[in-house]
Chain A
Amino acid sequence: MIRVILGSVLAGAFIVGLGLIGLAAGGSRSLNAYLTLSGILFAIGMFGFLARRNAISMLMAIELMLNAVNLSIIGFASFDEKLGPSGSVIALLVMAVAAGEATVGLSIILAIYRNKKTPLVDEYDAMSQ
Chain B
Amino acid sequence: MAIGPTIPFTAIPWDDALFVLLAGTMLASGLAVVLMRDIIRCGLAMMVCFGSLAGIYVMAGAPVVAAAQVLVYIGAISVLVLFAIMLTQTKLAPARMAFQTQAVPAAIAAVVLLVVVLLAVGSTTWGGGPDRGDTKTTDVATMLFGPFVLPFEVVGVLLLAAVIGGVFLAKRDRSAADRPE
Q: Which residues of A contact B (CB under 8 A)?
A: 11, 14-23, 25, 27-29, 31-37, 39-48, 50-57, 59-61, 63-64, 67, 70-71, 74-81, 83-89, 91-93, 95-104, 106-111, 113-114, 117-122
Contacts and interface: CB of A to CB of B under 8 A. Distances in A.
Contacts of B88: 55-56, 109-110, 113, 119
Interface of B: 15-16, 18-28, 30-31, 33-34, 39, 42-43, 46, 49-50, 53, 56-57, 59-62, 64-65, 68-69, 72-73, 76-77, 80-81, 84-85, 87-90, 93, 95, 97-100, 102-103, 105-107, 109-111, 113-114, 117-118, 121-122, 126-129, 131-133, 135-136, 139-140, 142-144, 147-148, 151-152, 155, 158-159, 161-163, 165-167, 169-170, 172
Contact of B23 (A18, A32, A84): A18
B interface, by DSSP: helix, strand, loop or mixed?
A: helix
B95 A120 contact: yes
A83 to B, nearest CB: 8
A15 B24 contact: yes
A14 B19 contact: no
A110 B87 contact: yes
B84 A110 contact: yes
Given A41-B26, A85-B136, A110 B81 contact: no
Nearest to B103: A51
Contact of A85 (B23, B80, B99, B139): B139
26 contacts: A15-B28, A22-B24, A28-B18, A32-B121, A33-B23, A36-B121, A39-B118, A43-B113, A51-B107, A53-B99, A60-B33, A63-B73, A71-B57, A79-B132, A85-B142, A88-B140, A92-B64, A92-B144, A93-B155, A99-B77, A100-B159, A100-B161, A103-B165, A104-B162, A110-B88, A119-B89
A78 B117 contact: no
A34 B19 CA distance: 10
A45 B26 CA distance: 12
Contacts of B159: 96, 99-100
